[in-house]
Structure 1
């Protein structure tokens, strides 16, 4: 059965009421084009685009924007060689690019969070889901052992942490992506009586500094910072598996990028 790009987009957004304002739009390509292969990825990097070409896929579904701006503002990139090369590659390849950010975060539970929890193998320990965070109650472990578990399950070489590495933790707040700021994270420590918060990214002068002071005061609190991509990539792998069940006849690939940062 012929499946076009608009059919896939409709399937992606169907679990959520249509949003009046969203960044989730088709950035390149035509909605009537027949889909011959799909790549899902966290970020539509040059590497990801090249991988899609080599795999014969003509639709990329990416969580973040291609041109380094959440709202797709490219006005300051005119004549920038990096932007121009990437734009030309997308145009010449004929690949369609759909941004899938807002709708996925509005799945119930949040699709990015569900992917993260599945990858961490913590689904049996979910206590509750909220729009911006989830609470898991795992068997008691030290901060160090939890960090090692997270690194192994996510396939990453490092995390950043603050707090006693031997602190015993069981009740954890998870905040994927850019949700680690004080407005989201800080109320959870007391309201949810958390031992540990794990988030993707947030202002370093907010939640980390709160945890620094809490630890200095002798309070049993800890923080693990994954990185934005590291916390949200599992959501796009989760999406790939979901789409395989919907469209078993379409070749479907999840492309994981290499970490953007190195520890020197």
Structure 2
């Protein structure tokens, strides 16, 4: 009989402990991805480039030890410890979601860094105090993948041809990217600023051209607006062939007396070109 009572009490205590644990205070992280962390817990955020700003967002909702729900339990999210040279902007107060912005040093070496965060119930009016946890982030320039299509582009002098640049942002930063194409003699193409949010893949159109016939090997460059160390390049081929209009311009400059006739309608244009020289 005594043994049975002891066993009942033992299992009751276990059940009570399980309920208390399940109903304990927690933090719901919503960005850069969904996760739940408890007091003194830890979380790995992902990758960011040196100098690339990233954010951590939590929900203000939580519970206390008895399971009572507080929709605004957390009123502030702060970073209490971070590496030297980094810049931190703590969250606004009393919002339904609380966001901190963290900018690593532009000179941060590759590696995993530790941040200490604290969700705060201001004035402890909900009797849940603060919840401290640790976040880790990997600093590396390898935070995106890129591809370009087509790899071979054909056109005429001065004719804009569209290429497709795909950026797969595998990092946690929403920092914009810059697309630029170099290597076309006599042409200075304007860079374009685009956004591919963290953990997403986006496709962008970019127009290229050359002024004179020839074969070119331009380079498509993608870099982070915030970090020149975050960059990748892909080489493509651009084949520019003379247009019919160029042929007629050549005729006017004393090209062969018997030009290649492409279509009957072009004969008239050729004759007009000759007459204009008389």
TM-score category by the smaller chain? Answer: under 0.3
Whose helix fraction is larger, Structure 1's or Structure 2's?
1
Higher strand share: 2
The structure, 1 or 2, with the larger RCO (C-alpha pairs under 8 Å, 6+ apart) is: 1
TM-score in terms of structure 2 length: 0.24
